[in-house]
Amino acid sequence: MKTDPTFWIEARASGLVAYLLLTCSVLAGLVLKSRPFGKALKPATVTDLHRFLALLALGATGLHGVTLVLDQSISISWVGLLVPGEIPYRPLWTGIGVVAAELMLVVYASFSQRKRIGVQNWRRLHWATYGVFAAMTVHGVMSGTDTRQPWVLGLYLGTIGSVVAATAFRALVPPAKPERRRRELVTE
C-alpha cells in the first residue's frame, strides 16, 4: 500500500520556510540595531517587520511539527513535538529542533512582556536568538532529509553567511546615532 506523500512534502517545505523566516527575522533585528541604511529605514517599520517575521517563523515551525505528526511515513507523536528526544528519528538532532522551537516561542512572547521583565532582562533573553538560529541550523542540517541537495546546502550556507556578515557589521561598525532635536537660537 502506497502512502500519500502530501504531509511529508509539506513537512519538508514548512521546515525550510520556517528556517528562512527565522533567518529574515534575525537579519531584521540586526538591521534594526546596527542601522546600516541610516535614515532610509524607520526603526518602527523595521521593528514591526522583525516581529511579524518572527511570528510567521513560529507559525511555519508549528505547521512543520503538525505535518510531521500527520505524515504516515514516519511515526511522530504529539508528545514528541514538546519533549526533546521523544522522536525516534535522529533523536538528538530532532530534540535540538524541539528545544530551539520552544526557546523561539519564549523569545517571541517576551516582546509583549518587555516592560514587565525590564528592558535589560529582555535584551539578555533576546540574545538567545543567536542560539535559536544556531540550533535550528544544526537541526535542519543533521535531521533534514534534503540537506544533501545542492540547493539546500546552498541555502544553509547563504543564511549562515548573511547572519555572520550582519553580526560582524553590527559588532565592527558603530550604530548611527539618532538625530537629536536642535533648538534654534533666537537672537534678539
Q: What is the number of structural domains in the chain?
A: 1
The 10 Å Cβ neighbour count of residue 78 is: 11
What would you report as the CA-atom Rg of the chain, rounded to the nearest whole angstrom?
A: 20
* Domain boundaries, position 62: 6-172
Whether residue 183 is contained in a domain is answered as no
Whether residue 96 is contained in a domain is answered as yes
Whether residue 155 is contained in a domain is answered as yes
Whether residue 179 is contained in a domain is answered as no
- Torsion 87-92-97-101 (CA) sign: positive
Residue 97: name the closest of 114, 112, 76, 111 by CA. Answer: 76
Whether residue 188 is contained in a domain is answered as no
What does the pLDDT look like over 86-105, one tens digit per residue?
999 999 999 999 999 999 99
Whether residue 177 is contained in a domain is answered as no
CA 161/CA 25 separation, integer angstroms: 15
Burial class (CB in 10 A: 0-12, 13-18, 19+), 167: middle
Whether residue 25 is contained in a domain is answered as yes
**What is the pLDDT, as a whole number, of residue 4?**
80
pLDDT tops 50 at residue 20 = yes
Confidence of residue 173 (pLDDT cuts 50, 70, 90): confident
Whether residue 141 is contained in a domain is answered as yes
